[in-house]
Structure 1
């Protein structure tokens, strides 16, 4: 059967060579389109490692010196930090508040960050630094491999916590817990950088900054109150963020109701409540920068896919329509409709294979030349294999659709009519 198909294709090689060239170009273009769509789909479906349902950020404002109700504190006074702690305590006492976290640039979808380079033995990597209190893991339900935030909340009290990606980079094939990493800290009196050592007490599960980003490298520092005790109100306002998790079932208008209810209680010293913002609002704002260009790219990709499908279907449809008399003649000499359908679809798949193999060799060579985007995912063998299989299956479906219906319609021709034409 296969030898017969090759013989028929070779006899009609002058026509088939153009179909193979078309399938070659289509296969290469479709491979890159499928790659983009599958990578974005896999990236979006990967868990972020945190939960922002019912989480909110408290935004405070500061009374300025020229305002009548401003309270003047001596320089290095601990009162500004104590006032902020009083605000946190009042939040914790509210019956609809589950947990409250305090930190620096620590909440999900925050656009500000700090980072440093860390090392273990000869391995180095850049890591984002988040200063948090133990309740951070409870508020955003960040957990380790055991799925329990309490383990990480206990770990941050006696050391440092890193994300899973840091463990993979600096401790490949082993656990980071109980290990130490180093980083260059501030300079000493001689102007030389002082090396700091950080004992790792816990490891989170895989974490990302957003749904459409690669796994991130985080290190969680315990928030040092002694560093904040002597800071001014303005500096604390810039450095410190307060977030909390509300209990389930508070309703969609909770932020507005809660702000009205707590406005007087959260006015302490020179601090007063500005607004309560759901963390989901920060998510929407952050992802807007991703969605806008992505919509256009996905739209164009789908548009090209539709055109590819229509082009391939049209090519095979026209090819079979021109062979109606041949199909009728085959039926006149004893071929059944099923045999005709199998032959036409078999020819289409053989032509696809003849074009697909060199097209894949081209795509794989282009990927080795770093022409395949690695913004969201590395060009691993699994990724290349997935693209190759998915693209081939889609093209097989398109070729079968382009041959099945016209071949089925042509096979209904009466043998006498086919012999008359012949």
Structure 2
């Protein structure tokens, strides 16, 4: 029976080629959609790694003319102290411009023995940065006064980078290099999804901000209590504006920045979903049209089969099976191309993302073809043999 169906499909290869191509293209588009969906879902399930509620970011431009390091240190510490003195402020810390949920990204590399790792998210943070964001230190410690006279730069890394550098070995106290400088690992923190709910945490390293230098300043993150309102925000703005040489002040809420970056992340998937919907509609209409055309062209064949004793269900099953065989041929080709993505590590996603996306895409295409072929098959089963042979 299957061999006979393959022969029928081959005899109408020109007619079936377009349908097979439509199914193949649909599979690849659906595969792309499911890859995005599965990747976003897996990232969404991971813990955020920090608390963003009631955390505000103050951006400022400081044209400080102080050259003496001790005086500059006092200037920045006084600025931070004046913010912490406000009753609505629970904690505050200096930060580099790549605060969580911002569009700014700083990258660095890190070396350890024979390992060289690129594209590590690089953050500059103050001594209370972890308290502002309620970050979890799982090994070692955060920055503190004991790092003032450190010979090597104290560095904190996240779990993912720790695993790549040291595996199950010792991390605290190990010295690593990068860009001609030596760093010592003093702590390991839980992964932080700094680019929103749907993006992975990636690799991250944190370096202590030097308040005796102008490098790395420009952001203050403030953890406020539930009494902080618009009036307090206005007072905070005035406090920063009254600091000498401060200008270009902007206050943002991390909760609002999270919504904005999540929307930006979801836009490509929404566009792809729209394209996929139009393509699926076209494929469904194509299936209906081709099967309907087949029924009209094959009325004589169907009538003859019915006349020699074939049941309506067997005729219907034949048309549905032909469609499923066409879908299988398209899926074999599509799966071959889709399998290259995890094999070649395209886009750097986990292999499990592609495997799940392939399986979901195969199931989706089979269901689509099955649904689209059931009604035409039912119509074919309703053809009476006498009428069909009389028309022929």
Same fold (TM over 0.5): yes
Distance verdict in 2 for CA 1:352–1:290, change over 3 Å: closer
Cα separation, 1, equivalents of 2:35 and 2:133: 27
1:219 matched residue in structure 2 = 205
Q: Is 1:239 the equivalent of 2:217?
A: yes
Match for residue 409 of structure 1? 379
Structure 2 CA distance, aligned partners of 1:108 and 1:74?
A: 30
Q: Deviations over 1:54-111 (max 9, x none)?
A: 321113455x79xxxxxxx864164554344344334434454443232223511344
TM-score, length basis structure 2:
0.77
For 1:248 and 1:23, how far apart are their aligned partners in 2? Answer: 61
Q: 2-side partners of 1:395 and 1:18: how far apart?
A: 22
CA distance in 2, matches of 1:210, 1:323: 56
Find the aligned partners of 1:287 and 1:115 in 2 and give their Cα distance.
21
2:132 — aligned with what?
A: 139
In the TM superposition, what whole-angstrom CA distance separates every residue of 1:110-160 from its partner, at most 9, and x where no partner exists?
444544332222111133321213532343344xxxxxx265794444753
Moved more, 394-403 or 155-164: 155-164
Aligned to 2:293: 318
- C-alpha distance in structure 2 between counterparts of 1:266 and 1:328, whole Å: 87
Alignment partner of 1:34 is 2:13 = no
Q: Structure 1 residue 228 and structure 2 residue 214: aligned?
A: no
Query: 1:239: Cα distance to partner?
Result: 1.8
Going from structure 1 to structure 2, the CA distance change for 1:324 and 1:124 (only over 3 Å counts) comes to same
Aligned to 2:150: none
**Counterparts of 2:52 and 2:177, CA distance in 1:** 31
Aligned CA distance change for structure 1 residues 12 and 287 (closer, same or farther; 3 Å): closer
| C-alpha distance after superposition, 1:319-360 (max 9, x if no partner) | 234334544554555544444333322222123223432443
Matches of 2:128 and 2:139, distance apart in 1: 10
* 1:183 matches 2:158: no
The answer (yes or no) to whether the contact 1:59–1:276 under 8 Å persists in 2 is yes
1:54 is aligned to 2:51 = no
Q: Secondary structure at the match of 1:239?
A: coil
Shift of 1:387: 3.8
**Which is worse superposed, 282-291 or 48-57?**
282-291
- Which residue is 2:233 aligned to? 259
Q: Structure 1 residues 111, 364: closer, same or farther in 2, change over 3 A? A: closer
Q: Secondary structure at the match of 2:363?
A: helix
Question: How many residues matched?
Answer: 378
> Are the structure 2 counterparts of residues 330 and 24 from structure 1 closer, same or farther at C-alpha, using a change threshold of 3 Å?
closer
The answer to whether the Cα contact below 8 Å between 1:160 and 1:200 also exists between their aligned partners in 2 is yes
Counterpart-to-counterpart distance in 1, 2:163 and 2:99: 23
1:116 lines up with 2:111 in the alignment: no
Q: TM-score, normalised by structure 1?
A: 0.73
Q: How far apart, CA to CA, are the structure 1 residues paired with 2:185 and 2:131?
A: 22
CA deviation after TM superposition for structure 1 residue 276, in Å = 1.8
Superposition pairs of residues 13-412 of structure 1, within 5 angstroms: 13-15=10-12, 17-18=13-14, 20-45=16-41, 46-47=43-44, 49-60=49-60, 62=62, 75-76=67-68, 78-126=70-118, 127-142=120-135, 149=136, 151=138, 154-157=141-144, 160-171=155-166, 173-174=167-168, 177-178=171-172, 180-184=174-178, 193=180, 196-205=182-191, 207=193, 209-210=195-196, 215-223=201-209, 227-229=210-212, 231=213, 235=214, 239-247=217-225, 254=229, 256-266=230-240, 269-270=243-244, 274-280=249-255, 282=257, 296-331=271-306, 333-364=308-339, 374-375=346-347, 377=349, 380=351, 382-412=352-382
Deviation of 1:364 after TM superposition, in Å, equals 4.1
Q: Give the superposed CA RMSD.
A: 3.8
